[in-house]
Amino acid sequence: MCSQMGIFPWLPLLLYFICLITIFLVGYIPHEDHIKCSSGNTNCTISNVYRSFPDRSICRAAEVAYPTTEEELLSIVANATFLQKKMRIATSLSNSIPKLMCPDGEYGLIISTKYLNRRLGLDKSAMTITVETGMTLRQLINESAMAGLALPYAPYWWGVTIGGILGTGAHGSTLWDLGPAVHDYVIELRIVTPAGPDEGYANVRTLKIGDPELDAARVSLGVLGVISQVTLQLQPLFKRSIAFLEKDDSDLGAQISTFGNQHEFADFTWFPSQKKVLYRIDDRVPYNTTGNGVFDFFGLSPVSSFLTAVSRTIEEIQEYTGHAVGKCITGSLGRYILKKAGYGLTNDGTSFKGYPVVGYHNNLQSSGTCLDGLWTACAWDQRFKGLYFFQNGISISLYKAKDFIQDVQKLVALQPKALCGVDIYNGILIRYITASSAYLGKQEDSVEFDITYYRSKDPMAPRLHEDIFEEIEQMAVFKYGGLPHWGKNRHLTFIGAINKYENAGEFLKVKQSYDPLGLFSSEWTDKVLGLKDGITVLKEGCASEGLCICSQDIHCAPKKGYFCRPGKVYKNARVCTQLTS
Ligand SMILES: *[C@@H]1O[C@H](CO)[C@@H](O)[C@H](O)[C@H]1NC(C)=O
Ligand SMILES: *[C@@H]1O[C@H](CO)[C@@H](O)[C@H](O)[C@H]1NC(C)=O
Ligand SMILES: *[C@@H]1O[C@H](CO)[C@@H](O)[C@H](O)[C@H]1NC(C)=O
Ligand SMILES: *[C@@H]1O[C@H](CO)[C@@H](O)[C@H](O)[C@H]1NC(C)=O
pLDDT value, residue 581 = 58
Q: How far is CA 197 from CA 157, 204, 344, 557, in A?
A: 42, 15, 55, 54
From the CA of 290, which ligand is nearest?
A: 4
Residues whose CB falls within 8 Å of the CB of residue 334, separated by 6 or more in sequence, listed in order: 7, 8, 9, 423, 424
Ligand 2 atom 14 nearest Cα: 76
b/e burial code for range 180-193 (CB count within 10 A of at least 16 → b): bbbbbbbbbbbbbb
- C-beta of residue 141 within 8 angstroms of C-beta of residue 154: yes
Answer whether 200's CB lies under 8 Å from 78's CB: yes
**What is the Cα–Cα distance from 473 to 478, expressed in whole angstroms?**
9
384 pLDDT above the threshold of 50: yes
Cα-to-centroid distance, 239 and ligand 4 (Å): 13
Q: How far apart are the first and last CA of the chain?
A: 49
Whether the CB of 379 sits within 6 Å of ligand 3: no
Query: Which atom of ligand 2 has the smallest separation from the CA of 72?
Result: 13
Whose alpha carbon is nearest atom 14 of ligand 4?
Answer: 288
Q: What is the rounded CA–CA span in Å between residue 86 and residue 559?
A: 42
User: Is residue 86 pLDDT above 60, yes or no?
Assistant: yes
Work out the pLDDT band at 31, boundaries 50, 70, 90: low
Of 59, 141, 74, 146, nearest in space to 104 by CA: 59
Q: Best substitution site from 69, 75, 76 to test ligand 2's pocket, by max atoms within 8 Å of Cβ?
A: 75
pLDDT band at 25 (very low <50, low <70, confident <90, very high): very low
Report pLDDT digits (tens) over 473-524.
999 999 999 999 999 999 999 999 999 999 999 999 999 999 999 999 999 9
146 Cβ closer than 6 Å to some ligand 3 atom: yes
Query: Ligand 1 mean position to 38 CA, how many Å?
Result: 6
* Over residues 106-122, mean pLDDT: 96
CB of residue 136 inside a 6 A radius of ligand 3: no
Atom from ligand 4 closest to the CA of residue 286: 1
Give the residue, by CA position, lying nearest to ligand 1 atom 5. Answer: 38
- CA 429 to centroid of chain Cα atoms: 11
Task: Write down the pLDDT at residue 11.
Answer: 44
Q: In this predicted model, what pLDDT tens digit does every residue of 38-78 receive, in sequence order?
A: 989 999 999 998 889 999 999 999 999 999 999 999 999 99
Residue of the CA atom closest to atom 8 of ligand 4? 288
Q: Is 40 in the pocket of ligand 1 (CB under 6 A)?
A: no
| Confidence (pLDDT) at 404 | 98
Pocket of ligand 1 contains residue 350 by CB under 6 Å: no
User: Beta-carbon neighbour count of residue 360 at 10 Å?
Assistant: 18
Report, as an integer, the average pLDDT of 89-99.
94
Distances (CA, A) of 519 to 69, 268, 532: 21, 41, 15
Averaged pLDDT of the chain: 93
Asked if pLDDT for residue 5 goes beyond 90, the answer is no
Angle at 269 between CA 478 and CA 494, to 5 degrees: 25
- Pocket residues: Cβ below 6 A from ligand 2: 72, 75-76, 79
How far apart are alpha carbons 474 and 573 in whole angstroms? 6
**From 288, 289, 290, 292, mutation site for ligand 4 pocket: most ligand atoms within 8 A of C-beta:** 288
Residue nearest to atom 1 of ligand 4 (CA): 288
C-alpha 279 to ligand 4 mean position (Å): 28
Strands 562-566 and 574-578: antiparallel
CA of 79, closest atom in ligand 2 = 1
Cα(362) to centroid(ligand 4), Å: 22
Taking the C-alpha atoms of residue 320 and residue 327, their distance in angstroms, rounded to an integer, is 12
Distance separating alpha carbons of residues 410 and 422, to the nearest angstrom: 17
- Atom 7 of ligand 1, residue of closest alpha carbon: 38
Phi first, then psi: give them for residue 572, nearest 5 degrees: -75, -15
**Long-range Cβ pairs for the range 326-331 (8 Å, 24+):** 327/417, 327/420, 327/421, 327/423, 327/424, 327/464, 328/273, 328/274, 328/417, 328/420, 328/423, 330/8, 330/9, 330/423, 330/424, 331/271, 331/273, 331/274, 331/420, 331/421, 331/422, 331/423, 331/424
Quote the strand ranges of 260-367, DSSP E: 267-271, 276-285, 294-295, 345-346, 357-360
Q: Examine the pLDDT at 6 and tell me if it is beyond 60.
A: no
Core vs surface per residue 83-104: b (16+ CB within 10 A) or e: eebbbbbbbbbbbbbbbbbbbb
Distance 142 CA to ligand 3 centre (A): 6
Q: What is the DSSP string of 256-268?
A: HHHHHHH-TT-EE
Pocket test for ligand 3, best of 122, 143, 146 (most atoms within 8 A of CB): 146
Residue 289 CA: nearest ligand 4 atom is 13
Q: Whose CA is nearest to atom 3 of ligand 3?
A: 142
Three-class SS state of 232: strand
Instruction: Give yes or no for residue 227 having a pLDDT over 80.
Output: yes
Please write down the long-range contacts of 540-543, taking CB distance under 8 Å and 24 or more positions apart.
540/460, 541/459, 541/460, 543/470, 543/574, 543/575, 543/576
Q: What residue owns the CA closest to ligand 3's atom 4?
A: 142
Between 322 and 222, the higher pLDDT residue: 222
Give the Cβ contact number of residue 223 at 10 Å. Answer: 27
Give me the phi and psi of 482, to 5 degrees please: -65, 155
Measured CA to CA in angstroms, residue 289 lies from 238, 239, 426 at distances of 10, 8, 30
Q: Which residues line ligand 4 (CB under 6 A)?
A: 286, 288
Tens of pLDDT, residue by residue over 149-185, are 999 999 999 999 999 999 999 999 999 999 999 999 9
Instruction: Give 183-211 pLDDT, tens digit per residue.
Output: 999 999 999 999 999 999 999 999 999 99
Q: Radius of gyration over alpha carbons of the chain, in Å?
A: 23
Q: Which helix (H) or strand (E) holds 156?
A: none
- Residue 29's pLDDT is 57
How many whole angstroms from its chain centre is CA 167? 12
Ligand 1 and 580: CB distance under 6 A: no
Calculate the alpha carbon distances from 38 to 41, 288, 388 in Å: 8, 56, 26
Over 60: is that where the pLDDT of 28 sits? no
Report the atom number in ligand 1 closest to the C-alpha of 60: 5
Lowest mean pLDDT among 241-255, 311-325, 398-412: 311-325
C-alpha 495 to ligand 1 mean position (Å): 35
Residue 81 has pLDDT above 80, yes or no: yes
Q: State pLDDT tens for residues 258-308.
A: 999 999 999 999 999 999 999 999 999 999 999 999 999 998 988 888 888
What percentage of the chain exceeds 70 in pLDDT?
Answer: 94
Distance 164 CA to ligand 2 centre (A): 26
Closest CA to ligand 3's atom 1: 142
Condensed to tens digits (0 to 9), the pLDDT of residues 513-558 reads 999 999 999 999 999 999 999 999 999 999 999 999 999 999 999 9
- How far, in Å, is the centroid of ligand 1 from the Cα of 45? 10
| pLDDT for res 21 | 47
Position 7 scores a pLDDT of 43
Q: How far is the CA of 112 from the centre of ligand 1 (A)?
A: 20
Q: Whose CA is nearest to atom 13 of ligand 2?
A: 76
pTM: 0.93
Long-range pairs, 477-481, Cβ under 8 A, ≥24: 477/394, 478/570, 478/572, 478/573, 479/404, 479/407, 479/570, 479/572, 480/396, 480/397, 480/400, 480/403, 480/404, 481/396, 481/397, 481/400
Pick from 149, 158, 142, 161: which is nearest to 124 by CA? 149
**Choice among 256-260, 299-303, 349-353, 462-466 with the minimum mean pLDDT:** 299-303
Res 39: pLDDT: 87
**What is the band of 147 on the pLDDT scale with cuts at 50, 70, 90?**
very high
Domains of the chain: 41-237 (3.30.465.10), 238-455 (3.40.462.10)
In angstroms, rounded to a whole number, what is the distance separating the alpha carbons of residues 14 and 138? Answer: 33
Question: Which residue, judged by its Cα, is nearest atom 11 of ligand 3?
Answer: 142
